[in-house]
Amino acid sequence: MAKPLNIGLIGYGFMGRTHSNAYKRVNDFFDLQYRPTLKAVCGRDAEKVGEFASQWQYESVETDWKALINRDDIDAIDICTPNNMHAEIAIAAAKAGKMVLCEKPLSMDVEEGERMVAAVAEAGVANTVWYNYRRVPAVTLAKQLVDEGRLGRIFHYRAQFLQDWTIDAALPQGGAALWRLDAGAAGSGVTGDLLAHCIDTAIWLNGSIQDVTAMTETFVKERMHNLTGQVEKVGIDDACAFLCHFENGSLGLFESTRYARGHKALYTFEINGEHGSLRWDLHDLHRLEYFDHREESIIRGWHDVHVTDGDMPYMDKWWVPGLQIGYEHTFVHQVADFLEDLAAGRPTSPTFAEALETQKVCQAVLESAEKTAWTFV
Amino acid sequence: MAKPLNIGLIGYGFMGRTHSNAYKRVNDFFDLQYRPTLKAVCGRDAEKVGEFASQWQYESVETDWKALINRDDIDAIDICTPNNMHAEIAIAAAKAGKMVLCEKPLSMDVEEGERMVAAVAEAGVANTVWYNYRRVPAVTLAKQLVDEGRLGRIFHYRAQFLQDWTIDAALPQGGAALWRLDAGAAGSGVTGDLLAHCIDTAIWLNGSIQDVTAMTETFVKERMHNLTGQVEKVGIDDACAFLCHFENGSLGLFESTRYARGHKALYTFEINGEHGSLRWDLHDLHRLEYFDHREESIIRGWHDVHVTDGDMPYMDKWWVPGLQIGYEHTFVHQVADFLEDLAAGRPTSPTFAEALETQKVCQAVLESAEKTAWTFV
Amino acid sequence: MAKPLNIGLIGYGFMGRTHSNAYKRVNDFFDLQYRPTLKAVCGRDAEKVGEFASQWQYESVETDWKALINRDDIDAIDICTPNNMHAEIAIAAAKAGKMVLCEKPLSMDVEEGERMVAAVAEAGVANTVWYNYRRVPAVTLAKQLVDEGRLGRIFHYRAQFLQDWTIDAALPQGGAALWRLDAGAAGSGVTGDLLAHCIDTAIWLNGSIQDVTAMTETFVKERMHNLTGQVEKVGIDDACAFLCHFENGSLGLFESTRYARGHKALYTFEINGEHGSLRWDLHDLHRLEYFDHREESIIRGWHDVHVTDGDMPYMDKWWVPGLQIGYEHTFVHQVADFLEDLAAGRPTSPTFAEALETQKVCQAVLESAEKTAWTFV
Amino acid sequence: MAKPLNIGLIGYGFMGRTHSNAYKRVNDFFDLQYRPTLKAVCGRDAEKVGEFASQWQYESVETDWKALINRDDIDAIDICTPNNMHAEIAIAAAKAGKMVLCEKPLSMDVEEGERMVAAVAEAGVANTVWYNYRRVPAVTLAKQLVDEGRLGRIFHYRAQFLQDWTIDAALPQGGAALWRLDAGAAGSGVTGDLLAHCIDTAIWLNGSIQDVTAMTETFVKERMHNLTGQVEKVGIDDACAFLCHFENGSLGLFESTRYARGHKALYTFEINGEHGSLRWDLHDLHRLEYFDHREESIIRGWHDVHVTDGDMPYMDKWWVPGLQIGYEHTFVHQVADFLEDLAAGRPTSPTFAEALETQKVCQAVLESAEKTAWTFV
């Protein structure tokens, strides 16, 4: 019989939904020693958070996150707030002895992140950051193939995260669901929101990044801010691209934007090695493309691997070959891993400490763009 | 507050899991007047059904389906047994005044199906058959585009369902999860298992089928039967293809097999009309391809529509543009529609009566192959 | 120094251009003992054939094909006329001791074809039929992979040839470039024009076809005929599909139409065997897709083979890896093979005798559709 | 009757073949006032150039390019030598009053290029540089769509040219066909060989580039040099990537390498504007992908345009819809345009002056990589 793990969720927007879904579904598919319980959800607007609690069947509601953290019946705090609240909540939660699951990016900057890492270390609490794309089965498979050495020495890594939802100049720059456009709440624009995902995966697959040269752009310079009702200067980056060197000698190329017409959430990466290459694309997340130069030349070509069979990562838990899963399953996988690791006394990657490295790269990227100069991480 | 709808599930195999998942998730995403409750699951093997109940949190267990049907606390019977049990259970459930949700195909043959249709009609109970692929958002969108007349007069409809999982001659022909290979339990092979899906969608999109010429093949003629321990003649069709005329004057081409190497569950269809065409593929179920000849010629080409935006069928209930859902969501959609229709007093398509038409085509196909002659439906 | 081979071309339409191009280019790329010389082109309209001769640099012009055949300075007759002239010209040319290269399909019917086969056999002249798609490098590679036994026992073969250029009911049914719509000139519609290609490739790759069940349709029943100025009943088939059994026990599915919106010349085939599968598509003719089930499961997937490297069939003669060739090169390859075979005293496949088998299948298909019954080839 | 234009070709390697083919074919397909004559080919090795002349039917051979330039029967000099000979030959040819067609890149550096531009200007001779990819029909179509303003304000331009043919460390760094790996002959590595193509297209489609930040890498630091027989330091860049700003305010991202396993000649570009986007890929050069956000949302998606119809750029000259042309045709198109422009007294883009701009960007890129700093063009 699985032991309950009482969850206290803070924030009930898009990520609040993906996490709640993950907690509710995980035990239907994975055999685990823990079973998450939706104990409480916290938000400032009592009516809205109440509706969310009702829809998702949370047992209780809080409007003050400090009150939530102090409840004895909460085992783990899950932070789904805008970025500017991550550090304060996470540090307080750790001090209160709670496990902490924090949405990405870890923090507003490196300094905050370092304090968060110190706090969870000092408290000795389980911690993880929701870089969910590591747990797309095709991406986990890519990690496995790289770790097996199939690609040989790596020459190139490239990634992009392209969206097109902020091109309309009439879109406000903040307020509620639009906090990602508000520099005060988000810290940065696409760098923290999108590139952070690309960087996390890149470090995981290809190791550390040493130095970067970057450029950022804000195409729409002023927008109405919903909270103030004023047209204000836009503080976030609409687009960001950088070149870099990895510690293993390979070259990196990264780009993200919210101004690429025709792309909704096109996160792609490709890695080229001496013997082979891999590429993946979030718009068809259930596929991995693989090339192996050592194959016989007349049948050599990119393999289009439909990652749905039972011997693929996580896929023995779902349906039958050919039947695809989707975006939300990545969160289920992260919860499953977290619960397994908890039972085994292992950390769950990426921990706060691991996610801090991504934060350092993001900060170096923004500094490089600001200074228009190569910058060490 | 949603009103509970007590479900009694019979059978706990692959389909038992997809249906259970649908019942548990639907209210998290859809605002409905009913909330399914997993009241009881029924199976002959007490230990196995108990494990399933525990995993999925069913409140109780039955080992005799007749007992389940007679329980007062059950509102709806969901039939996930092998095909040879559909008719008896459905008719008994209807007589007991239960709503009936039956896995496809409706029945072993037309005669059985007609009795089932009569039973639910006489009892006046809500009924539906789980032809789930109608509720892939891309397929529902195809229906919408056809109904809007965008394709004009239809000339061609083609569909295929290709798998490759029974090529190994050492695979037994029945027992437990392999009942689909046992003619006694399944009635037919790919015709009822795979082509039935293609036919259901085809009739829905393109209207009735008039006559057919078909061929079937059993590539591996004898297999061990797990239940008898004997090598026995194989009774099912491994492959089936047919040509047909639709009532609207268009030509149809259908094929299904379990001997197409490289295809796991490749259900595809394409429809060609005077003005435009549509095609879809289960291996990338979140995409629909659309061609409109009336577009300006220099930018004319197949549109690759990534069916993930909020204005696509069902997609306002899920995530954000670019983030795909998967196979299992089709069952959630069917439950959502069933519950909405129930509240509104409407039938939920395909009803038993509608599914009977697919049964008639399947029977004509098998007869045509047997007689090697064109056969009217 | 290559020896001249004097060509006499009859007909200067679309095929006249593709053949002329092949003769002019072949020696630039292939080392051959013969060099084709564009000696004469023949057509009934002196002005038009003169313009063609001038454009393509033919040395002379004829307006009577019998005169051409009797010229001593002509070595080979190339027949690019409408189908209803193939037999008479080919037989006369053979009797005159000329080599004969005949456009496909070989003839209007089997009886004609048999007389043509007899004529070239009796005369002992080199002969070939322009089923050019065999010599797409990707298709030739498919043949090589099949012949090496990589697919194992074959279960399925399917092919289609889809076009959309005759949907407009205002299109006339014949005259000049539209002779393919005139039953008198073409013999049949899509069956001889398109399916003949599919059948030729299929027999080449997968062996003989035993029996067929077919359906044909003429969607637009009456059209203006440009030659008579009258609206007349349309005599050709707009669409044709058939099921069949191959001698090797595999099942076949074939379809062609000129009413498939969005497809210009979509000739595709796929072959599924015990161990692997192959598929190809004329719209991307430089690619072959290959699946091998014996590969390690986690990297197993369809290989997308870009057939441009020097070790691919014919490709050492062209450019460098990654740079694709196109449609017209298939004719260059056929000329190259014809000239090599000529030097070696070998027949060039498909010979008239080989092409006759395709004619027999076409005739069985049309008979089956007419009788609505399975028909033996 | 077309007037002869006597060609003197210098260099008979890969480019010598593509240009010869273009001259020989152009009048078969295009109606022109000039007809190129293969008057003479020049190379230092008398035997090899003689074989080439025989294969391609050049009328005469020279082994000294100065002799060729001084021949009265030569109208145009076509330079297909390694890059280090471009300037000297081009300037001499211009002084001799010959038209000059020069392979890309224009020159070894900007200084050389400026002298070449001055020389052709002073002599008043027709001149062009073979940036052939502008004349892929799909790329020309992209230009047309951009010029019509369909994309609106441009935000992003990205291009890459990926190859994998120099990964083997045993490959020598120069000699004969390998001169592209010899810094002395080529000037640079991928920057001049591959990026130059990307930059030429980018400037043509999206306007001037202002400043760049770049990185280059030489993965294999030492290689045997075939000409000296010694292992020597490699002087060329194996990979080069840069970020840039265009004058129109859009951001650019460029990458090229010969170390990307699985890519033979993958030249791709994508351009994202306010209303729409375009992308293209040399591996399927006959297709253009187009996205228009202003389309109705439920059928909005990337259009896959098969650029083969007669209303597409250049395609009325070739075959029929659906039948693709290939790489070599881009050179035929450039010759056709050159001859038309000649008759009309117009320059043929890119002229030397236009190609100089690409040279300036290349030089800024190499300087930026050297200095590790943003550099103005």
Q: Residues A89-101: pLDDT tens digits? A: 999 999 999 999 9
Classify residue D351 by its DSSP letter. Answer: P
* Minimal CA separation from A135 to chain B, in Å: 15
Higher-confidence position of A161 and D228:
A161
A102: CB partners within 8 A, 6+ apart: A78, A79, A86, A90, A116, A127, A128, A129, A130, A352, A355
Q: What CATH architecture is A3-132?
A: 3-Layer(aba) Sandwich (3.40)
Rg of chain A, C-alpha, whole Å: 21
Residues of C in contact with A304 (CB under 8 A): 301-302, 304
Residue D46 pLDDT grade (very low, low, confident, very high; cuts 50, 70, 90): very high
Burial class (CB in 10 A: 0-12, 13-18, 19+), D149: exposed
Substitution target in B146, B154, B156 with the highest count of C β-carbons within 10 Å is B156
Question: What is the distance between the alpha carbons of residues D209 and D186, in angstroms, rounded to a whole number?
Answer: 23
Across A139-148, A181-190, A237-246, D24-33, least confident range: A181-190
For residues C11-42, one letter each, b for 16 or more C-beta atoms within 10 angstroms of the residue's C-beta and e for the rest, the string is: bbbebbbbbbbbbbbbbbbbebebebbbbbbb
C183 touches chain D (CB under 8 A): no
pLDDT band of residue C201 (cuts 50, 70, 90) is very high
Residue A1 pLDDT grade (very low, low, confident, very high; cuts 50, 70, 90): confident
Alpha carbon distance A360, A368 (integer Å): 12
Yes or no, beta carbons of B297 and D311 under 8 Å apart: yes
pLDDT (mean) for A115-129: 98
- Please tell me the distance from the alpha carbon of residue C185 to that of residue C187, in angstroms, as a whole number: 6
The mean pLDDT of chain D is 97
A229 to A40, A174, A226: CA distances (angstroms): 33, 10, 5
CA C43 – CA C176 distance, rounded (Å):
12
CA separation (Å) from B201 to A42, B196, B277? 45, 9, 16
- DSSP code at position C285: T
How far does Cα B329 stand from its chain's mean position? 13
Distance CA B184, CA A165 (A): 55
Interface contact D293-A214, CB threshold 8 A: no
* pLDDT beyond 90 at A277: yes
What pLDDT, on a 0 to 100 scale, did the predictor assign at position C193?
95
Which pLDDT does position A217 carry in this prediction? 98
Give the whole-number percent of chain B exceeding pLDDT 70. Answer: 100
Amino acid at B184: G
Contact A243 D213 (CB under 8 A): yes
Helix axis angle for D46-56 and C14-29, nearest 10°, is 170
Crossing angle for the helix pair A46-56 and B14-29, to the nearest 10 degrees: 160
- Model pLDDT, residue C226: 85
User: 0.90 cut: is pTM over it?
Assistant: yes
From chain A, the residues in CB contact with C298 under 8 A are 141, 144-145, 305, 311-312
Neighbours of D45 (CB within 10 A): 12
Question: pLDDT confidence of D111, banded at 50, 70, 90?
Answer: very high
Domain C134-376 architecture: 2-Layer Sandwich (3.30)
State the smallest CA–CA distance between residue A278 and chain C in angstroms: 11
β partners of residue C127: C100
Pick from D152, D104, D160, D130: which is nearest to D279 by CA? D160
The pLDDT score that the predictor gives to residue A12 is: 96
Q: Which amino acid is at D345?
A: G
Q: Which residues of C touch D264 (CB under 8 A)?
A: 306, 308-309, 320-323
Compute the distance between CA of residue C283 and CA of residue D321 in angstroms, rounded to an integer.
Answer: 10
DSSP string of A6-32, one letter each residue: EEEEE--SHHHHHHHHHHHHHHHHS--
Q: Is A328's CB within 8 Å of B327's CB?
A: no
Residue found under tokens 């090599």: C340
As a whole number of angstroms, the distance between CA C362 and CA C238 comes to: 15
Contacts of A124 (CB under 8 A, 6+ apart): none
**pLDDT at site D176:** 75
Residues of A in contact with D276 (CB under 8 A): 261-262
Contact D338, D78 (CB under 8 A): no
Q: Which residues does chain A have within 8 Å of residue C296's beta carbon, measured at their own beta carbons? A: none
SS3 assignment, position B228: coil
| Helices (H), ranges, chain B | 14-29, 46-56, 65-69, 86-95, 110-123, 137-147, 183-186, 190, 196-206, 329-344, 352-371
**Matching fold, domains C3-132 and C134-376:** no
Angle, helix B14-29 to helix A14-29, in steps of 10 degrees: 160
Q: Does C346 touch chain B (CB under 8 A)?
A: no
Residues in chain A with CB shorter than 8 Å from the CB of D242 are 243
Q: What is the pLDDT of residue D174?
A: 81
pLDDT in tens, C45-75: 999 999 999 999 999 999 999 999 999 999 9
Name the pLDDT band for B176 (thresholds 50, 70, 90): confident
pLDDT level of residue A175 (50, 70, 90 thresholds): confident
- What confidence tens digit (pLDDT) does each residue in B129-156 have? 999 999 999 999 999 999 999 999 999 9
Query: What ipTM was reported for this prediction?
Result: 0.96
The closest of C179, C196, C119 to C363, measured between CA atoms, is C196
**Mean pLDDT of the region B167-171:** 93
CB contact (8 A) between residue C283 and residue D28: no
The pLDDT value given to residue B275 = 98
Mean local confidence (pLDDT), D86-107 = 98
Please give the single-letter amino acid code of residue B266: L
Pairing of strands A76-79, A3-10: parallel
Q: Is the pLDDT of residue C370 over 90?
A: yes
The mean pLDDT value of chain C amounts to 97
**C-beta separation of D42 from D19 below 8 A:** no
Distance CA A163, CA A180 (A): 13
Helices (H), C57-126: 65-69, 86-95, 110-123
Residue of B nearest to A162 (CA): B322
* For residue B350, pLDDT beyond 80: yes
Name which of A18-27, B196-205, D180-189, D285-294 the model is least confident about.
D180-189
Q: What tens digit of pLDDT does each residue of B268-294 get?
A: 999 999 999 999 999 999 999 999 999
Please state the φ and ψ torsions of residue B61, each to the nearest 5 degrees. Answer: -130, 145
Which residue type is seen at C310?
A: G
CA distance A370 to A237: 11
What is the DSSP pairing of strand C266-273 with strand C154-162? Answer: antiparallel
Contact check, Cβ <8 Å, C55/D263: no
Calpha distance B145→B139 (Å, rounded): 10
Domain locations along chain D: 3-132, 133-376
Rg of chain C's alpha carbons, rounded to an integer? 21
Q: Are A244 and D216 in contact (CB under 8 A)?
A: no
Interface of B with C in 115-174 (CB under 8 A): 151, 155-156, 158, 162, 164, 167
- Judged by average pLDDT, the poorest of C282-291, C348-357, D178-187 is D178-187
Radius of gyration of chain B (CA): 21
**Helix, strand or coil, per DSSP, at residue A377:** coil
Read off the tokens for A15: 């990520």
8 Å CB contact between B116 and B106 = yes
User: Residue A305: pLDDT above 90?
Assistant: yes
pLDDT of residue B226: 84
Alpha carbon distance A149, D81 (integer Å): 41
Amino acid identity for residue C91 in this structure: I
Binding-face residues of C in 283-322 toward A, CB within 8 A: 289-290, 292, 297-306, 309, 311-312
Measured distance CA(A56)–CA(A314) in Å, rounded: 25
DSSP secondary structure of B44-70: S-HHHHHHHHHHHT-SEEES-HHHHHT
Identify the bridge partners of residue B214 per DSSP, sorted by sequence position: B242
Is 80 exceeded by the pLDDT of residue B163? yes
Q: Any idea what DSSP says for residue C48?
A: H
Asked if D250 and D277 count as a contact pair (C-beta separation under 8 A), the reply is no
pLDDT at A238: 96
Enumerate the β-bridge partners of residue D62.
D42
d(CA B174, CA A216): 62
Residue C94 contacts residue C105 (beta carbons within 8 Å): no
Contact check, Cβ <8 Å, B297/D309:
yes
Q: Which residues contact B339 (CB under 8 A, 6 or more apart)?
A: B5, B26, B30, B32, B33, B34, B36
Element (H, E) at A139: helix A137-147
The terminus-to-terminus CA distance of chain D in angstroms comes to 47
Note the CATH architecture for domain A133-376: 2-Layer Sandwich (3.30)
The whole-angstrom distance between residue B70's C-alpha and the CA centroid of its chain comes to 27
Beta bridge partners of C303: A303, C290
Fold (topology level) of B3-130: Rossmann fold (3.40.50)
Q: How much is the pLDDT for D363?
A: 97
Mean pLDDT of chain A: 97
| Residue B219 backbone dihedrals phi, psi, to 5 degrees | -70, -40
Is the distance from CB of D197 to CB of D104 less than 8 angstroms? yes
Interchain CB distance below 8 Å, C28 and D21:
yes
B-facing residues of C in 196-225 (CB < 8 A) are 213-215, 217, 219
Among residues A115, A114, A119, the alpha carbon closest in space to that of A100 is found at: A119
What's chain C's length in residues?
377
Q: What are the φ and ψ backbone dihedral angles of B175, each rounded to 5 degrees?
A: 105, 125
What integer pLDDT is reported at residue C175 of this predicted model?
A: 77
Chains that touch A (3 or more CB pairs under 8 A): B, C, D
